[in-house]
Amino acid sequence: MTATARDGSGAAGGGPLLLGVRHHGPGSARAVRAALDAARPRAVLIEGPPEADALIPLATEVDMRPPVALLAHAVDEPGRSAFWPLAEFSPEWVAIRWALEHDVPARFIDLPATHTLAWGSAATEGEPGGGAGSERGDDADPAGGGAAGADASRRGGGTGVDGDGDGDERGGGPHSGAAARPGAGSQADTDTDTDASAGGGAGARSEASIGAGAGAGAGAGAGAGAEAPAAPGADAAAGSGAQAETGAGSGIDAGTNTNTNTETATATDTNRDADAGVASQSSADGSAMEKDVRIDPLAVLAEAAGYDDPERWWEDVVEHRGVGEGDPFAPFLALEEAMGALREAYGSGGHDRDLVREAYMRLQVRAAQREFGDAVAVVCGAWHVPALRQKTAVAADRALVKGLPKVKADMTWVPWTYRRLSRVSGYGAGIDSPGWYGHLFAAPDRPVERWMTKVAGLLRAEDRIVSPAHVIEAVRLAEALAAMRGRPLPGLGETTDAVRAVMCEGSDVPLALVHDRLVVGDVLGEVPQAAPAVPLQRDLERTQRRLRLKPEALDRELELDLRKETDAGRSRLLHRLRLLGVAWGEPVASRGSTGTFRETWRLRWEPELAVRVAEAGVWGTTVLAAATAKAEAEAVAAQALADVTGLAERCLLAELPEALPVVMQVLADRAALDTDVGHLAQALPALVRSLRYGDVRGTDTGALTGVAAGLAERIFVGLPPACAALDADAAEEMRRHVDAVHGAVGLLGDAPGPDHRDLRGRWHSVLRVLSVRDTVPGVVRGRAVRLLLDDGELGQDEVARLMGLVLSPGTPPGDAAAWIEGFVGGGAGGGMLLVHDERLLGLVDSWLTGVPAEAFTDVLPLLRRTFSAYEPGVRRTLGELVRRGPGERGRVTAAGSGIPGFAADPDPERADAVLPLVRLLLGLDGPSGPGGPGGPGGPGGVKADIDNDLAGVAG
Amino acid sequence: MSVSVEPKSVEPSESGSAPVNSSAVTPVSAGASAQASANGTDELRPHAEDAFAGELASLAAQDDRPRPARWKLSPWAVATYLLGGTLPDGTVITPKYVGPRRIVEVAVTTLATDRALLLLGVPGTAKTWVSEHLAAAVSGDSTLLVQGTAGTPEEAIRYGWNYAQLLANGPSRDALVPSPVMRAMAQGMTARVEELTRIPADVQDTLITILSEKTLPIPELGQEVQAVRGFNLIATANDRDRGVNDLSSALRRRFNTVVLPLPESVEAEVDIVSRRVDQIGRSLDLPAVPDGIDEIRRVVTVFRELRDGVTSDGRTKLKSPSGTLSTAEAISVVTSGLALASHFGDGVLRAGDVAAGILGAVVRDPAADRVIWQEYLEAVVRERDGWKDFYRACREVSA
């Protein structure tokens, strides 16, 4: 074929067709398609984990819609995982689709995830990871002969961290076992691959792919022979990342770092993987990285071309190039040349992980060449192309990939989103603008015009007036800007500037919408049902086993005592699942005990919950990580302040310490911007309640306390103005808010921390302001006075003065009645106050008798509402007091310099009468104590005494 | 606007001891006065095209890129003129506007595509300065200017009549007094409209025909003036002040809008404020203030935080008050604080001297803004280290 011939002449010395791409580059994707169409290779090799070979056929299913990601996870530790996201415009995806459409085998050729995942454990945990790996050696290899080699390399991985010496030793060990492999090395690969592309079932898949991995490892061992040093492998294990692509991203030296940019796709993505194992891994990498100077190959090339922004340079040179004119291979050759020059300058030596990966890729390419001849196309990051082109000794390559650590890994497809492809969300596959790239890839022609039309459509849907004239002007402006900036075509920067100036009237607000919906985009991928189970399911099963909590279809009540380890774990699991929308357990009211350390759940496992779990799989690979991610997303999306406080409470219950800062930040922001004091007052009690839960569960609630105190602060400032000009209903609601805040501040004041100590003091001064301000409704004023009195902040005399003011003839009777309601109404104790303080009762009494007849009917309902809530006994006592008349009151008042309601001097005789009962209660006496009311009649007698005493006091 | 940091009012007081190196933030005016004196002109404030005639000439000489019709420079050279740079022959172009490059590029490109340009922004963001220099660089003439006020009549935008001529000879082109806009249309120049939003709405709409049809009918004569290539219009407007007439959407559609941002960093803004306060202070014969910079920084911080609705550490969100809290206002707060300190205090600018001014600038709507201010005081200022005196002073004036 001419194409192949041309390729042969272009590429140094023939060999496979190497297509260097930028992951997620639409230009690269288009170029790959054109090149494949022209070259018509007999096999397509793609950079990616070979375990996923079996999953490739799923790509043509109707239910498969990119963006999707290949997810590799360690079988026994779903938290350790890596993603290879693929969008519609990813060159890898295009290559897969092309291969499937043309009935050509497609294969992944990167280092197997079984190693890259194990690298993570080797680097982070050292010995344990290796131990786990070899332990699992038994069931790894139906694919045949690689068992010994596989074992060997596993063991090698385990100790690889330790250094070179061990490596040598092991190099010898497995040799005999692996010796069978050299010839069969490619054979084994072929087997597994054909199986896979023939549609090998999900069950067979993992084993087959692992077998392939094992075979490769074994082959490497054999080729290297006993004398081959194991050092490179050991080095790699020690310094490298959890995943193949992480290795690329978080490089050990300059050369590797360059990789981050060349193949932004998977590199950044896996780096940012949220799971704990990987997180610790990347920190380990970080330390290695700090020592090195970072060099970005694209930046170097861009600088040479006179660009200050490497991304823009890449866009101009590669992405915006039209395909169709000229040689479909020309861009790849040019890029290869550039990368070759770069690697000569920067990429020689040191970056062990890349070397290992490239060695493995070379081996795989060779194997494919043996099978298909030179008609093999390789799609990989442009950075790797020179290395794959390089002629190296097979033995050297095998030595490199020998002795890598292993874990049992499993792969599946998971749905992905554009948002996660973008850097903004933190997962990040490394591209800012997946929506824009998707558009560039999908648009058949006139991309800028089509883009502007899309933007106009979006803005119109949001009720902004955007006419076709706007679109025309925006396109003109974008093109003129591009011309002025010397770019071949308007890029995202130009179009954004034009949209801002023409369609958004200079405002960034609608522009943010455009960015969110179009530039990043809302696209959500889908995977077919046939895709293997998500790791979340496995993690859930493991947790269930650990907590001995079996899913049962029958209703079951579960009592948990949170002080016990297992029960606390169960509670956390159930709370987390509830957050994830997996309603396995419903909390029900505890019977009997009301302690905060008890929880009662009703459990019931419905079959559809399994579907829910699968759906929740998008949030993470473990229950903890998924619940955390979900909580964070919910916090950001929450509308009302109360929703966020509720969420904070649930986060504490589910123990999601990592989600809490986000929730707290959202809460603080919402609180800061909420202008309704009522909302704030509603939010505060829930928050303070959460603080108490936190105490029970031993969570760190420092941040929560801070936010609660800030919330209280805002309430203090906003409350007095908010109390002005309220009608009766609103006033009543405000009274409830005041009560709620009072309770919350009381609890909060106890919280540790220097900042919150004077909260109560400030609350009291707010109450004082409320109590004397005339525009504040009577019921709130009365309540404020009462709360101050209860806290001992106002003396009896002062209260009497305030009450006198309110009940003086100048105040409208309705107001006065409301004040009384606020002061003595609502809840217990109000009546007793009047019973005990006859001065206050006298004020009420004389006011009531002075109410004009016409006003009395207005006041009556209020008063009735107030007094009818009292206990019958209190009501009767009050009635008796009032009937007795002012004379008696005068006596009490006159007698009293002491506490009102009490005689000036104690009555020792009556006080002594109580003592026996007190003794009994405190258990100071034996059952037959002298003088104690030992018999069954005793308590009753004492009770009668006390009743008498109380009556006596009251009288 | 009683106070502005735009250098149109800066130069007069600056002649004496202008900072030698005004590598500053917004407009750079040292070059202006330097060149003006070099040219030996006597004007208080020479036009941009005169003050920077040298730079414009060397740009024109070395500009080999295509120029739109009747442009003195290519768009690229206009952008270089505004943003500064060094030409191949070594001529240094001083930056006229220090800010995002994107803004200048969009502005220039807009003019090059015959769309009218609307520069939006709060007071003190160099709108007028940018529009003047754009006109000077594009058309070589920044004087075709309509100043917008509440009393701007339609004649100022279309044309007026010489009534003596009109009565004597009847309506004719000789009796017509063309407006700057009309002249710009006829000559293919750049017209400028300052403070477009101050102009009553019905007068604003006069521009619609001019911008969409590119023609100005004169019904009295049965004639029209058609714009020739090269005509364009730059308007400046202020969207946050009170007492503005919002543009009708029909008019708004005819503009490309560029929003000039506030100074990017606290340091930049502190720099602008302190320089400007220094100048005003000297012209008012206020004694020099030794340690005012800390207080200025606080004022700027307060203004920025309330304006942006978030604290400077980015941790806490805040409500924004209804006032604009522009840099210009910060300047006036500091200046009046300075006057207080020198006349009634010990000459040292203290928290108490600026507190009342800040309160006045922040609390424009007595009900809502007061709550916002108090929340800010309690939630942010009270907790901040070293701000105790400021907190107390503000509490005192707020109570």
Which DSSP string do the residues of A384-406 spell out, in sequence order?
GHHHHHS---HHHHHHHHTT---
CA–CA dist A191, A379 (Å, integer): 22
Angle between helical axes of A231-239 and A352-372 (0-180°, round to 10): 120
Tell me: pLDDT of A347 over 70. no
Q: What is the distance of C-alpha B295 from the center of its chain?
A: 25
Query: What DSSP letter does each residue of A760-792 carry, written as one string?
Result: HHHHHHHHHHHHH-TTS-HHHHHHHHHHHHHTT
What pLDDT does A454 receive? 92
Query: Which of A807, A804, A768, A761 has its CA nearest to residue A784?
Result: A768
Q: Which of A473, A673, A718 minimises the CB distance to B317?
A: A673
CA of A714, closest CA in chain B: separation in Å?
6
**Rounded mean pLDDT, B33-52:** 65
- The residue type of A249 is G
pLDDT band at B183 (very low <50, low <70, confident <90, very high): very high
Which pair of tokens denotes residue A920? 């009994």
**Rounded mean pLDDT, A848-867:** 79
- Does residue A673 belong to the interface with chain B, where contact is any CB pair within 8 Å? yes
Contact B98, B125 (CB under 8 A): no
- The residue type of B277 is V
Report the 3 state secondary structure along A910-921.
HHHCCHHHHHHH
Tell me: pLDDT of B10 over 50. no
Which pair of tokens denotes residue B95? 């930056």
CA–CA dist A500, B357 (Å, integer): 36
CA of B370, closest CA in chain A: separation in Å?
10
- Does residue A754 belong to the interface with chain B, where contact is any CB pair within 8 Å? no
Tell me: pLDDT of A20 over 80. yes
Query: Which of B255, B237, B240, B275 has its CA nearest to residue B127?
Result: B237
Contact B322, B307 (CB under 8 A): no
- Write the pLDDT tens digit of every residue in B102-157: 899 999 999 998 889 999 988 777 888 899 999 999 999 999 999 999 999 999 99
Which pair of tokens denotes residue A752? 């540790």
pLDDT band at A286 (very low <50, low <70, confident <90, very high): very low
What share of chain B in percent tops pLDDT 90? 32
Contact B181, B210 (CB under 8 A): yes
CB contact under 8 A, A675 and B319: yes
Q: What is the pTM of this model?
A: 0.62
**In Å, what is the CA distance from A910 to each residue of A767, A892, A924, A948?**
40, 19, 20, 10
What pLDDT does B136 receive? 94
Q: What is the distance of C-alpha A376 from the center of its chain?
A: 42
Q: What rounded mean pLDDT belongs to chain A?
A: 69
Give the pairing type, strands B159-161 and B176-178: antiparallel
Contacts of A706 in chain B (CB under 8 A): none
CA of B181, closest CA in chain A: separation in Å?
23
**Rounded mean pLDDT, A473-498:** 88
Contact A333, A377 (CB under 8 A): no
**Phi, psi for A886 (deg, rounded to 5):** -65, -20
What pLDDT does A915 receive? 85
CA–CA dist B22, B1 (Å, integer): 24
Tell me: pLDDT of A48 over 50. yes
Q: Which residues of B touch A (CB under 8 A)?
A: 75-76, 79, 102, 105-106, 108-110, 112-113, 115, 118, 120, 249, 252-253, 256-259, 309, 315-319, 367-368, 370-371, 374-375, 378-379, 383
CA of A529, closest CA in chain B: separation in Å?
44
- Cβ atoms within 10 A of the Cβ of A856, count? 13
- Write the pLDDT tens digit of every residue in A697-725: 555 667 777 778 888 888 888 888 888 87
CB contact under 8 A, B374 and A717: yes
Tell me: pLDDT of A889 over 90. no
What is the 3-state composition of chain B as percent helix, strand, coil, each rounded to the nearest 5? 50, 10, 40
**Rounded mean pLDDT, A269-286:** 33
Q: Which residue has the tokens 């004040």?
A: A819
Q: Which residue has the tokens 């295009």?
A: A94
- Write the pLDDT tens digit of every residue in A620-661: 778 888 888 888 888 888 877 878 888 887 887 888 878 877
Burial group, residue A242, by CB count within 10 angstroms (0-12, 13-18, 19+): buried
**Rounded mean pLDDT, A574-579:** 88
- Write the pLDDT tens digit of every residue in A717-761: 888 888 887 888 888 888 888 888 888 888 776 655 555 567 888
Contact A231, A399 (CB under 8 A): no
Contact B163, B202 (CB under 8 A): no
pLDDT band at B396 (very low <50, low <70, confident <90, very high): confident
Query: Which of A634, A637, A658, A657 has its CA nearest to residue A647?
Result: A634
**Rounded mean pLDDT, B255-280:** 83
**Rounded mean pLDDT, B92-96:** 86
Lowest mean pLDDT among A414-423, B159-168, B237-246, B293-302: A414-423
Which pair of tokens denotes residue A175? 């040799």
Query: What DSSP letter does each residue of A212-265 carry, written as one string?
Result: HHHHHHHHHHHHHTTTS--HHHHHHHHH--SSHHHHHHS-SSHHHHHHHHHTHH
- Does residue A89 belong to the interface with chain B, where contact is any CB pair within 8 Å? no
CA–CA dist A49, A114 (Å, integer): 9
What share of chain A in percent tops pLDDT 70? 67
CA–CA dist B180, B232 (Å, integer): 12
Contacts (Cβ under 8 Å, ≥6 apart) of A546 = A569
Q: Which of B108, B259, B317 minimises the CB distance to A506?
A: B259
- Cβ atoms within 10 A of the Cβ of B368, count? 15
CA–CA dist A910, A901 (Å, integer): 16
- Cβ atoms within 10 A of the Cβ of A676, count? 11
Which pair of tokens denotes residue B230? 């090269």
- The residue type of A87 is A
Contacts of A668 in chain B (CB under 8 A): 316-317
Contact A364, A107 (CB under 8 A): yes
* ipTM value for the complex: 0.75
**DSSP secondary structure letter of residue A422:** B
Size of interface A-B (CB pairs under 8 A): 92
Tell me: pLDDT of A68 over 90. no
- Write the pLDDT tens digit of every residue in A771-805: 888 788 888 888 888 888 888 888 877 887 887 78
What pLDDT does A79 receive? 67
Contacts (Cβ under 8 Å, ≥6 apart) of A676 = A722
Which pair of tokens denotes residue A541? 């099963």
Which pair of tokens denotes residue A346? 């920067």
What is the 3-state composition of chain A as percent helix, strand, coil, each rounded to the nearest 5? 65, 5, 30
Tell me: pLDDT of B240 over 90. no
What pLDDT does A78 receive? 66
What pLDDT does A394 receive? 82
H-helix segments, A623-658 = 623-637, 641-653
Q: What is the distance of C-alpha B250 from the center of its chain?
A: 25
pLDDT band at B289 (very low <50, low <70, confident <90, very high): low
CB contact under 8 A, A477 and B109: yes
For residue A123, list its beta bridge partners: none
Contact A32, A25 (CB under 8 A): no
Helix (H) or strand (E) holding A598, with range, is strand A598-603
- Write the pLDDT tens digit of every residue in A392-449: 888 888 888 777 888 888 888 877 778 777 654 333 346 778 888 888 888 888 889 9
What pLDDT does B287 receive? 65
CB contact under 8 A, A506 and B257: yes
Contacts (Cβ under 8 Å, ≥6 apart) of A91 = A19, A21, A22, A23, A25, A28, A29, A31, A32, A379
Question: Quick check: helix, strand or coil at residue B175?
Answer: helix
What pLDDT does A249 receive? 32
pLDDT band at A73 (very low <50, low <70, confident <90, very high): confident
What pLDDT does A171 receive? 33
**In Å, what is the CA distance from A393 to each residue of A220, A398, B83, B129?**
12, 9, 57, 68
From first CA to last CA, the distance across chain B in angstroms is: 29
CA–CA dist A748, A713 (Å, integer): 12
CA of B138, closest CA in chain A: separation in Å?
15
What pLDDT does A778 receive? 85
**Beta-sheet strand order (sheet of A556-561):** A556-561, A598-603, A585-588
Tell me: pLDDT of A882 over 90. no
- Write the pLDDT tens digit of every residue in A452-462: 999 999 999 98
Which of B80, B127, B253, B313 should we substitute to test contact with A (largest number of A Cβ atoms within 10 Å)?
Answer: B253
